[in-house]
Structure 1
């Protein structure tokens, strides 16, 4: 299957699953700020790895992932009614901590820049 078609299907799935999570799922375990960052859809459309970003602490992330995993059947059912596909791929949710790592690196870089500026200011005062 062509890569452009697969990427279009993955993009549409990302939109639909985001709407389903934010509007249709009533599971109290799922954190209010949960977003789909990426979908890795296999070329044969048999499986999809869904990367999820959750704003919250470790416990909220674990509960959200448990809630999403238990809701896979319902999510697939809603996807089937909303998307015109012969077969809805098997869904697998994975926690995406990429944004947190980026934020941590940004903070570290800011700290280094601040220390460098303080050192430069101290040399200029002498």
Structure 2
């Protein structure tokens, strides 16, 4: 059973404000990276995606999970973004309306790899694969309830 705080919220889950500010930071970072404002050789010919930004409960630290499109040299991309952390923080501060801009930390996003591993595990079991490949009963559009002539 999950632990809950006095206010009824589950402990360890991000609050609504954390999620909202995380999305604002994610949009701002994505816009900055898409415009190509950084003059960095490791980022010149790379499209960087920012699938998620998680904020600490006090909104002081934002951890941005980034992945270069194609998965080429993700550690180099993270290192390049770390070198420009102060510039990026200032640009994010201009785009979001908060009293304090959060400190930025960058991590490689591994969620796609983990999803692929889970998918491969599910498909390796013949019984599970049979269930996955079978058409769902909702896929039939002309069911007996729909026929009213």
TM (norm. structure 1) is: 0.74
Q: State the match for 1:19 in structure 2.
A: 31
Root mean square deviation of aligned Cα: 2.5
Confirm or deny: 8 A CA contact 1:69 1:92 kept in the other structure.
Answer: yes
Post-superposition offset of 1:5:
2.2
Structure of greater Rg: 2
Please say if 1:82 is aligned against 2:88.
no
Classify the secondary structure of the residue corresponding to 1:40: strand
Which of structures 1 and 2 has the larger relative contact order (alpha carbons within 8 angstroms, sep 6+)? 1
Task: Name structure 2 gaps, 5 residues minimum.
Answer: 1-13, 131-149
2-side partners of 1:89 and 1:57: how far apart?
27
2-side partners of 1:83 and 1:91: how far apart?
14
1-side partners of 2:95 and 2:50: how far apart?
17
Please say if 1:50 is aligned against 2:64.
yes
Task: Name structure 1 gaps, 5 residues minimum.
Answer: 118-126
1:67-106 counterparts in 2 under 5 A?
67-106=80-119
> 1:29 is matched with which residue: 42, 45, 48?
42
Name the one with the larger helix percent.
1
Post-superposition offset of 1:92:
0.6
TM (norm. structure 2) is: 0.64
Number of aligned residues = 113
Post-superposition offset of 1:108:
5.9
Runs (4 or more) in structure 1 with deviation over 6 Å come to none
